[in-house]
Structure 1
Amino acid sequence: MNAKEIRQLFPILDQKVNGKPLVYLDSAATSQKPIQVIEKVEDYYRRYNSNVHRGVHTLGTLATDGYEGARGKVRRFINASSTEEIIFTRGTTTAINLVASSYGRDNLAEGDEIVITPMEHHSNIIPWQQVAKATGATLKYIPLQEDGTIDLEDVKKTVTANTKIVAVMQVSNVLGTINPVKEIAAIAHQNGAVMLVDGAQSTPHMRVDVQELDCDFFAFSGHKMGGPTGIGVLYGKKALLEKMEPIEFGGEMIDFVGLQESTWKELPWKFEGGTPIIAGAIGLGAAIDFLEEIGLGEIEKHEHELAQYAMERLSVVEGLTIYGPKKRAGLVTFNIDDVHPHDVATVLDAEGIAVRAGHHCAQPLMKWLDVTATARASFYLYNTKEDVDALAEGLVKTKEYFGNVF
């Protein structure tokens, strides 16, 4: 199935925006949803809407089977060793905060180190800043090379015997850099630290095997991979999760509640207090089915080709700067001389082209790039070379428009 055929499975893409066919190039922010996911979520609400784990009636059983069935699909999708290691969350941000608030605060003290990179999304910076403040730990950064990549020698210099947590994104949402997280995890483990991988930008686009990576924690979101918003996953090694305390308390996560003391359910439910995101999990399961049918290898190959084609097409636009390495994931971040990224995005929107403009929740990286903001075009399995051509033509129009204005 080629990209044009895949595109037909996404109803939202069959429309005009500002009188022009929609060219959606903002999948790094959120992906569009295939009809299979939309219908699966609708089926839950139409046919067996009920709470899970609580009732013995038919609807409750169907809902529980759908919810826990989705957990099984996630386990297989990222090759976790057990469903006990799969925690449903609201998204990547919640998953990282869970690790920071539970594992981080209980296992860090003054003199300990947390190591991250300047390219991290805010959701993989701020939680560690807060943990460092609460525990007295030190937050350290692995330096970046000129092209926005990581040198493993710098990792070895930054990670020390005092390092307790290393937290790195697998793919940069700004630069498209694909980080060597498997090798970084090995260095972390050699120094007695645990490794968290932010997989928000990798899981939708390439095969992920958490056992092969040997990471201790892995976080990702459903909405970036064709699933619903409000659902995400935290993978954690069972031995670590068993020692961690929940950070949300209430229904569903308890084993026994007394007047003064309570005990928790076993994994994974002790971390899923309250009514869970049932429809979201079921929709995520449908998204996984869809991606596996297409093939993660095919998706990665297609996006790599689009990114390379985009870099070639955009490089001829006078005054345009592209940020990040030559070898990259499926996105291109850029600026046009003397034109603010928000103005670029506004003109492109008038042409029906949706791109992102701003700091992309990566202000430390913007400072490293010495810019206040950038524009970003990000690709997914439903994008085509024609979309890239439309972007290039739109940028030429943008340049011409602001050239005439000035």
Structure 2
Amino acid sequence: MIIESYFELILLLGGVLSFLLSMYLIFYPGNFFPNRILGALVFSWTITVFVFILHSTDFYLKHIHVYAVFDFFTLMFFPLMYLYLRNYLYRDIKKPHLQLFHFLPALFYLLVFMPFFIKSADAKLKMIQDGFPLWYTVSQTVFNVIIIIQGVIYTVFCLRTIHRFQYFRKKHLSKFQLSTLNWLRTFVFVNVILWVFGTTGAVLDILGIRLFIDLFKLFYAGLSLFTIILAIFTIKRPELFSESEDIINLVHINKASGLKSITNQNNQDFKVLSQFIVEQKPYLKNDLKMQDLVESTGITYKRISEVFNKNFNKSFYDVMNEYRLEEAKVLISKGFHREHTLSYLAEKAGFNSKTTFNRIFKKYTDQTPSDYIKNLEESAL
């Protein structure tokens, strides 16, 4: 294996430094999970850079069993980018194991190319020299298309997550936090730019078009530089949106002023939640959970729970059922029950079953829905 250019040497040094940074982010003491996701992202970028360098050497001729094995890391770029950003902004995501489904394309890649991976060294070498079979080239093309689609979908997810977080947090964010939110947005845009270089290079390569500049070199050089800048930024400011820093920013002088600030914070959260509930009507969702409000408003699970207990003075489900009850009354006043069953009316109001609908109706009105409708119609005569 011989490194034949200064560019490859610089890229190799950058890759080594990125690898060290990824290990730092993954194993650095502390319970800051987003940094570990970022470390995994930096590690996947590092492996891809190494693979690019090795393709220009005779490495694979001597270590044929490594060929194409690490290409699945490219299918992890955008999922890891999205999960890093999501976990960075929303610290108390419930059921984190469900996030693993984002990595199904990478797993599928390994399964599809397993027939190639288990071949003997001589068989692999012959395929490389004489040409790959149709199933191999078609599969590679399919996965290249999947990577392109990932870029589009996850970019939309990331920008929407940032926008929603900033929109609902509004005055909750300090100038320092807003600047970091802008940095996260820049992080997404830089990924998109790199994705454009890589995708354009791949498409031109398939079409057999040659440019005066190698887009793949730009892609991998930019990737190496950006991983270093990104990792350094995160090391300097690892706990920006953490619950502990939010409290520290609120409590400055003494316990009394701290309690007052926390109360103001709860009042702000209460206003945001009340506005969201009235305008967006999340209670119409039959299987609504508190985590849905977390993801929609950018307020942490702990704070939302405190708002319902202290400001509403009721549980989350009690408040949602009261809104559903009022929605059901509005539907009844419009005559919805004359054209549809009460079960369907309950569903449209957000109740997950007619039994719950009847119980809540009886609890707050001392009447069953049928009695309520009967009394309402009699009073209208």
TM tier, smaller: under 0.3
**Structure with more of its chain in helix, by fraction:** 2
- Please report the TM-score for the alignment, with normalisation by the length of structure 1: 0.23
- State the structure with more CA Rg: 2
Q: Tell me which protein shows more strand as a share of its residues.
A: 1
* TM-score (norm. length: structure 2): 0.24
